[in-house]
Amino acid sequence: MTDITPESLFSQIMKARTRIYQVAEPTPLEVYPMPGGWDMLLKREDLSPIHSYKWRGAYNFMKAREKEAKAVGVTAASAGNHAQGVALAAARLGVSAHVFMPKAAPRLKVEATARLGGAWVEIHQVGDNFDQAAAAAADFCRESGALYVPPYDDMLVMAGQGVLGDELMVGSHRPDVVFVQIGGGGLAAGVATAIKTYAPEVKIIGVEEEGQASMKAAFAAGEPVTLDHVDVFCDGTAVKRAGRLPFEILRGQLDDLVTVTVGEASRAIQKFWQVARVLSEPSGALGLAAARKMSEQLKGQKVGVILTGANLDFRQLAMISRRAGAGHESKPYYQVRLDERPGAMLAMLKTVAPLGLNISYLVCGQNDRTTAYPIVGFDGAKSQAAKLEGLWAAAGYDFKDVSDRADLGFRVATFQPAMFRRPFAAILNFPERPGALTEFLERMAPLGTISYFSYVHTGEQVGRALVVLSFETDQAREQFMADLEKRGPHYTNLAPETIEALGVKGWL
């Protein structure tokens, strides 16, 4: 099928419904009031058979071409969710499938593909990205004669995804506007066609992550073009070139096309958890990210948002949490110039203590006898960040906002071990509450200085910091140790190799 119109695609969507509902019922549509005065109609594709919408298109394609698929087998390329859809369909229909996935594909998705497909699926991990895996799949198709299952650029695949849009319109809650993710464009084209056929007045807004905006590039060029590079944080939508058929549909169906940042997507994942207690994969949260970005325009409206998938590698959570904070107005990060003297850090923190801000990040290392440049992050509202800067400015501190610095996530703190004096090194365990660190610094300030400090808030009840403290005299060090043993905080001695790496050998 090479030619496509909204009418022909909608006809295929109606046919796809019967095939789709042989496998699963419609996913739930939940309603949540949102800040800003709009209602989120949340389409829970995370509750589908593969925890993603992708199975709809893969199954519809393979079921519609079942006879051919069984005769020659099928091949597909995918970073994860499409692979799972093909695997599900292969096992349901009894079709032999060869699935090509990048070597860097999330392990969760590789394992799920194997589990869903069982003996019917053989997985080939090839190349470092989707394009290399797709090239290997194409080579296999030419050599074997297998049927290729496209991830998005096909009428039957788009029709299968479009059943989701049909479900959005036949329930008791109809949206006024729908935000829909775009990778290759198959989901958006199907959803837009179904909704616009029923109700042309419903606005359809496509959403891309700004580092992978292939449809935006296609619209600008008047045809699909290949991006030189795509950001893969939102791996489910990381496509270098938008599909030709989706492009033909969407340029006549979209009311708007917007982009969001990785930080905005991460904060949308956080909001999903806060509102609905669900964890979305990064691409699954793009719709909510855009809706929140346009919140002022949505007051009084019912807003369709699709949680397209929840196949999240658990190891991503730390990075998502950091990116949800970095650059965000409620989690600012600052580099502050301090005199290298006992009590300097305490004085800086006490300046902003009246605001009640919780320290979420503190990294510093001693590199100079006279000056220190710690990086400190706070949790707080936008208005508090402005007050914080005002208090520091009034106190004469030299500081700058470094919230967008790339090294924040790596907790880089250079230091010169030669400058450590009578050092004490350990992991300190603080109660995770405002003021706990300041109280500790107030006790130790007359005795020593911070030569190295690395702490980031993890959401636990106890915060852990890797520290090296320096002391001018043996008496000061002994007094500090006596106070630490008596009053805490609890500390854990470091292994000898860690102490040696920090340059404090000889002070075990």
Tens digits of residue pLDDT in 369-387: 899 999 998 877 667 888 8
In the DSSP assignment, the letter for residue 459 is S
Does residue 100 sit within a domain? yes
> Could you say which of 275, 306, 325 is where a domain stops?
325
Quick check: helix, strand or coil at residue 204? strand
pLDDT at res. 506:
53
pLDDT digit string (tens) for 73-114?
999 999 889 999 999 999 999 999 999 998 888 888 999 999
- Tally the domains of the chain: 3
Q: Which domain holds residue 136?
A: 56-148
Specify whether 74 is located in the same domain as 216. Answer: no
Same domain assignment for residues 208 and 135: no
CATH of the domain at 141: 3.40.50.1100
| Residue 370 shares a structural domain with residue 291 | no
pLDDT reported for residue 80: 86
- Same structural domain, 198 and 264: yes
Give the CATH number of the domain where residue 353 resides: 3.40.1020.10
Domain final position from 285, 303, 325: 325
Interhelix angle 244-253/6-20, nearest 10 degrees: 110
User: What pLDDT score was predicted for residue 1?
Assistant: 43
Check residue 505 and give its pLDDT.
Answer: 60
Q: Is the pTM of this model over 0.85?
A: no
How far apart CA 196 and CA 213 sit, in angstroms, is 23
**In this structure, are 252 and 214 located in the same domain?**
yes
DSSP percent split of the chain into helix, strand, coil, nearest 5:
45, 20, 30
Q: 42 and 159 in one domain?
A: yes
Residue among 235, 258, 237, 261 nearest 403 (CA): 261
488 and 388 co-located in one domain: yes
Residue 82 lies in a domain: yes
User: What is the gyration radius of the CA atoms in the chain, in angstroms?
Assistant: 27
474 and 354 share one domain: yes
Query: Is the separation of the CB atoms in 503 and 421 below 8 Å?
Result: no
Which of 325, 357, 390 is the C-terminal boundary of a domain? 325
Q: Is the same domain home to 406 and 358?
A: yes
Give me the pLDDT at residue 327, please.
47
Residue by residue, pLDDT tens for the chain (508 residues) are 457 999 999 999 999 999 999 999 999 999 999 999 999 999 999 999 999 999 999 999 999 999 999 999 999 999 889 999 999 999 999 999 999 998 888 888 999 999 999 999 999 999 887 888 999 999 999 999 999 999 999 999 999 999 999 999 987 899 999 999 999 999 999 999 999 999 999 999 999 999 999 999 999 999 999 999 888 889 889 889 999 999 999 999 999 999 999 989 999 999 999 999 999 999 999 999 999 999 999 999 999 999 999 988 787 777 777 777 654 555 788 999 999 888 898 899 888 888 878 788 899 999 988 999 999 988 776 678 888 999 999 999 999 998 878 777 777 788 888 888 999 999 998 887 777 888 888 888 899 999 999 988 776 677 888 999 999 999 999 999 999 999 888 898 888 888 777 777 655 4
Tell me, yes or no, whether 126 and 164 share the same domain.
no
Hey, is 385 helix, strand or coil? helix
Based on the fold, state whether residues 286 and 406 are members of the same structural domain.
Answer: no
Distance of alpha carbon 301 from alpha carbon 315, whole angstroms = 36
